[in-house]
Structures are given as C-alpha cells and as structure tokens.
C-alpha cells in the first residue's frame, strides 16, 4: 500500500492523487500541511527534508516532488503504455511537456495568481501585479492551445499522459476563480474532457474555500 502525505487541497498533492487513480494503484492519503500541520516533525523531515507535501512512502522508500513521484510510480507499477512510455523517444516527449508545465505553466499560476486572488484580502492585493501575472500565464496557456490545435483529445495525442496530469491539474482552479480570461477553445475542450474523468473529479475538483481569505472578494 502506497502512503501519500499531503492535504487534499494542495494542488501538487492533487496531481499525485489523480495520477495514482489513473494508474489504478491502491493508496492511503494522510492529511499533512496547512491547518493539519505535521510538516516540522522529525518524522516527516526524515521523509522530506524540505518539509513540503506531497511525499509518498512505498515500503522503505520515500519520494518527494510531484513529478518525481509520478515518474517513480509509473516506472515501478505502470505497464509501459502512453502515460510514461518505456521507449526513450516517446518518454522524452512526455517529459519535455511535463517539465515545462511544472516549471513554467504551473509556476505562473499558483503563487502569482491563485494566492493573491484567493488567499489574499483584496485590500492587501497588488492588483497590477495580479493583472500582469494573468497576462503572462495566458501567454503560456496559448502554447497549450497551439499544442492541442490539431484536434487530439490530450496534449500528446489520443492518450492521457503524465504531461496532462502536470499541466491539467491547475485548470479547475483557473476556470473557477473570478478573473478575466481570454478564450482558448482547444484548452477549454481539453479541460471538459478532463472533467469527464472520475479521477479528475474526485482528486482535482476539490473545494478550496478553506484556503480563501474571507476578504478576498
């Protein structure tokens, strides 16, 4: 049994839990972080020296960082299919977009947009910085729209891959917060396909109101 350490409202935990569900792996998730605490204990730091979630334990192995976790689980328990292929060239294509999604797309959403819009009182918000962050994020979202433009259902073709997990897990928050959004029809259609997946609905479409500042507006 795989143990996942991290609260359900953490977006990075959501990516891991969604991936685990898509792979059909049994797991037990424990609430750590935010109001649950537990990150500064010696026991948790033995698993994650950075004191951040998510972390998984699989037997005597602990793995932190969401992309590393998904790669480990796919290589250990996957079937070599499209999710994270065994063929190096096919795998590299998945890895390129997954890494870009993590370091560029997601990095331009969670802290620059979600935190000030949802987790910060309106009176303390730097609105001009938020407006610029939304503009910057949508430049990157346009690249995703271009990638999907040929008409394939998922980022790299007909099958869901780890790249979809990393790029797609932030979309529920993007489409549900009150911000001005440009229209990206291919991204919108992709998002609708993701919401049709039971694993996405269960692990990503999670109420995040507990994170909101009551004066966020």
Give me the sheet containing 55-58, strands edge to edge: 27-30, 2-5, 55-58, 61-64
Whether residue 187 lies inside any domain: the answer is: yes
Q: How confident is the model at residue 49 (pLDDT cuts 50, 70, 90)?
A: very high
Q: Average pLDDT of 138-162?
A: 97
Whether residue 115 lies inside any domain: the answer is: yes
Domain of 40, CATH number, reads 3.40.30.10
Q: Which domain holds residue 9?
A: 2-77
Whether residue 138 lies inside any domain: the answer is: yes
Domain of 173, CATH number, reads 1.20.1050.10
From residue 118, give the alpha-carbon distance in Å to each of 23, 110, 149, 177, 198: 31, 10, 31, 8, 26
User: Do 68 and 95 fall into the same domain?
Assistant: no
pLDDT surpassing 90 at residue 192? yes
Task: Write out pLDDT tens, residues 114-135.
Answer: 999 999 999 999 999 999 999 9
Beta bridge partners, 4, equal 29, 56
Unique residue bearing structure tokens 């992309």: 67
Q: What is the pLDDT of residue 112?
A: 98
For the chain, the domain total comes to 2
Q: Give the contacts of 186 (CB within 8 A, at least 6 positions apart).
A: 144, 145, 146, 148, 149
Q: Average pLDDT of 62-87?
A: 94
User: Do 23 and 98 fall into the same domain?
Assistant: no
Q: What is the pLDDT of residue 79?
A: 85
Whether residue 82 lies inside any domain: the answer is: no
This prediction has a pTM of 0.97
């Amino acid at each position: 049994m795989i143990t996942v350490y991290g609260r359900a409202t953490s977006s990075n935990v959501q990516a891991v839990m969604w991936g685990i569900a898509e792979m059909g792996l049994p797991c037990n998730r424990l609430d750590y972080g935010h109001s649950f605490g537990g990150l500064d204990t010696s026991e948790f730091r033995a698993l994650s020296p950075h004191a951040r979630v998510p972390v998984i334990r699989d037997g005597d192995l602990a793995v932190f960082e969401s992309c590393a976790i998904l790669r480990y689980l796919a290589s250990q328990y996957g079937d070599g299919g499209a999710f994270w292929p065994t063929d190096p060239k096919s795998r590299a294509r998945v890895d390129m977009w997954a890494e870009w999604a993590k370091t560029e797309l997601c990095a331009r959403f969670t802290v620059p947009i979600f935190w000030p819009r949802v987790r910060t009182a309106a009176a303390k918000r730097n609105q001009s910085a938020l407006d610029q962050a939304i503009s910057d994020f949508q430049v990157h979202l346009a690249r995703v729209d271009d990638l999907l433009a040929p008409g394939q259902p998922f980022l790299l073709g007909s099958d869901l891959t780890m790249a979809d997990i990393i790029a797609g897990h932030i979309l529920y928050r993007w489409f549900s917060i009150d911000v001005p959004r440009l229209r990206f029809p291919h991204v919108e259609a992709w998002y609708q396909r993701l919401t049709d997946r039971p694993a996405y609905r269960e692990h990503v479409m999670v109420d995040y109101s507990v994170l909101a500042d009551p004066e966020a507006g």
